[in-house]
Structure 1
Amino acid sequence: MTRLIIDTDPGIDDAYAIALACASPEVELIGVTTVFGNVGLADTTRNALRVLALCGREDVPVAAGADRPLVQPHPHLAVHVHGEDGLSGLADTLPERATGLAGVDAVSMLVRLLEESSEPVVIAPIGPLTNIALLLAAHPGVRSKIERLVVMGGGIDGGNVTAAAEFNVWSDPEAARRVLVEESVPVTLVPLDLTTRCAVDGAWLDRLGTSGAVGETLVRMSGTYREHYQQALGRDGIVIHDAVAVAEAVRPGILRTTRMPVDVDCGLGPSRGMTIGDRRDHRVRIYEAPREIDVALDADLDEVRAFLGSRLAGVH
């Protein structure tokens, strides 16, 4: 069984991702850490606690992490996509969790969970990478305890928050560059290029909405998100980016990856936050890249949608 930690900024698609992990017997969800991103840290932390309560997971420790990027101020939140509270204005309708926050910050809890684990741990960072960059910079000794990072972020062929940049990487490009380019921990990057292709339609949502309490709640609190994607996609449906990444953490190989070097633009111009994937043959590269990572660019899309739908509906 895979031991899993989710680092998250809930967010609608983060809520689907957390619920997916809770519904998957292949993984033991041993912790959730929160970070600023879609909304502010206080809201992302409350949302993580309440989604876990919805899923009946009082046992999973939760710790709050970074409330700002490493270097530059965070330009803006994603309230126009996720709602002012991150959950379409419905966060307070979710059950409160009797178990509150762990008595430590996110990085401290990550260190403890990693050091106490008898086997390597998979971490799924599905928000800005600030917590993970801080962890690896301050505690390099835990690298050997991380099996891999399954990161939702980046866009090899363009972005969503700008023409060049995807939201998670754009929110803290310096942290993203440290994790994706400068570190040695194995990474599977799940970018927009694939997650957008895995969009689910209105019929998929309608089926999930009649599957039980968790499915009904997820669909009900997707209102603002669904409205946004009706405009972005031109049809009824949503893109549950983060759940696609967690699907790979739960079932390794459900996404097909290509190894390549990547870089992140940390400049202050219009390409800030761009994720640059070098898909050229290594024999024609002029310089030696620091390292290569696995980038998920393809999958059996129907299989991914079916897997997400069945798990979130409670069918294993």
Structure 2
Amino acid sequence: MEIEDGLGRLLADGVSELRPPVGEMVREAGRIGRRRRRVRRLVAGGAAVLAVAVVAAGPAVWPDRWGAPREVAAGPPTLATVSGGPSGPAVTAEPPPVDATWPSVLQVLSDVLPPGGRFVGLDPYATSGADVDRVAAVVVGYERNSAPVSLTVRMYRNVRPADVATACADFGAGEQRYKDRGPRQPGVEEAGCRTRLLADGGTLFSGVTHTTVGGFFEDVVRLYRPNGELVELRAGNGVVGDAVMPRPPFGPTWWEEAVQRPEWAFRVPASTAAAGDRLAATVSRQPCPQAVPASSCVQ
């Protein structure tokens, strides 16, 4: 019994020493709970800021689980030019369109023509910039497997409907004063003109001029747009006065299609204007006529 009574006292004393400090545990639990709530609020606020930053920044690149980057799209793409660099691609917006000028018209002519030719002998007097109703005009030599032939582009606005209605008659009346004064090769189109109404309300004009003494003549096509704009293309079988081939290059049907190309715009992309300036600087010029002031010739 004495042994059992001694063991009982020892157990009772051990249990009394293990009594937990309940008050201190409650206070510590309160402190931990408050810290956790503050952390949750900070995490929620940081996630919101990150979400706003992602939306504002647009597409982001995140690594996938293998470490390779992948693009996360944040919206539809916009028109831009992308140039690479040491720090990654830089995106710049395309500048707004600009008014057409004779260099930009020359660039469009270069884009429309088949590859393999080159421009020579720009006529600085016939080539000109904006006038009252004329937007631009270009007269230039074109070499393609032969001596140069003349190509002409003229663009006008504010063309009257009456001018469209009488286009062929006026052309024919003007040509009647000359008729063929030089040789025309057999099988080559005769002088004359025709018009055709297009589905959009425009009018397509196609004509062939009479020959000069030297056998020179031109294919002439015009697009009369419903809004009063006019685009005219002329292609010769040589330079004015002398023929170097039986007929102008490509033929009337090709030029009829070419004049309807949408690139003949009165406002062009800034990149086209810049390319035209660069192209114009590489084309040789004919001398400015002595009878006209130098200011009347393009530089």
Same fold (TM over 0.5): no
Q: Which has the larger radius of gyration?
A: 2
Higher relative contact order (CA 8 A, sep 6+): 1
Structure with higher helix content: 1
Calculate the TM-score normalised by the size of structure 1.
0.25
Structure with higher strand content: 2
